[in-house]
Amino acid sequence: MPLPPGTHAFGPGNGALAVRTRRTGAAAKAGHDLVIDVTAWQAMLEVGEQTSIVLDADATSLRVREGTGGMQALGDDDKASIQETIDDEVLMRQGIGFRSTAVQTVADGGRIGVQGELTLVGKTCPIAFDLELDEHGKLRGNAVVKQTDWGITPYSTLFGALKVADEVEVVFDGRLPA
């Protein structure tokens, strides 16, 4: 299905934006792989002579949805502590933004190659990823973000024996209006 022309708005009402983390280190068994939802965000997909994508997200809106692995279940206090760490130490309450520099539709129109600039903690770096559009109007994609490229030190504890992997996955899942 090719992208229909026009302006397509996305947000929590018709899409989901999440971050997936993995754990590493000698004590990785003690930690959790996390799925963190971004609960306040908006994106615009402009399809026309020039196709572009713009996304803005509130860095303080990240909420832990689930934690897998670990020696014990992740409780509400753990989730609140993780949220506080993300706000104060990782993203430092600074906005998140993405601006495309090139959007190319591949042959059948179902795969879209995106290049652009992602801003995290005040630093802007290039990033590229693909989006897939299916015949039902579902638009999906993911991008790998290497935290250290943006000057972010991946969270660690237990004297570095348990840490979040440097590469996190950002996952988008949305639906075009019918």
Q: Residue 19: what pLDDT?
A: 98
pLDDT digits (tens, 9 = 90+) for 11-48: 999 999 999 999 998 888 889 999 999 999 999 999 99
- What pLDDT is attached to residue 156? 86
Question: Can you read off the two tokens belonging to residue 2?
Answer: 């090719």
Quote the CA–CA distance of 80 and 129 in Å, as a whole number.
31
| The pLDDT value given to residue 44 | 97
Tokens 């990785």 sit on residue? 28
| Amino acid 106: pLDDT | 76
| Strand residues in the chain grouped as ranges (E) | 6-10, 15-21, 23-24, 33-38, 41-47, 52-57, 62-68, 96-106, 111-120, 123-133, 138-146, 156-157, 162-164, 167-175
pLDDT for res 100: 98
Q: What angle do CA 112, 5, 53 make, to 5 degrees?
A: 50
Residue ranges of the alpha helices (H) in the chain? Answer: 76-85
Predicted pLDDT at 174: 96
Domains annotated on the chain, with CATH: 6-175 (2.40.128.110)
DSSP notation for 129-149: EEEEE-TTSEEEEEEEEEGGG
Residue numbers of the chain with a pLDDT score lower than 70:
107-109, 178
Q: How far apart are CA 86 and CA 81, in angstroms?
A: 9
Please give the pLDDT value at position 177: 74
| DSSP character at residue 77 | H
* Ordered strands of the 156-157 beta sheet: 23-24, 162-164, 156-157
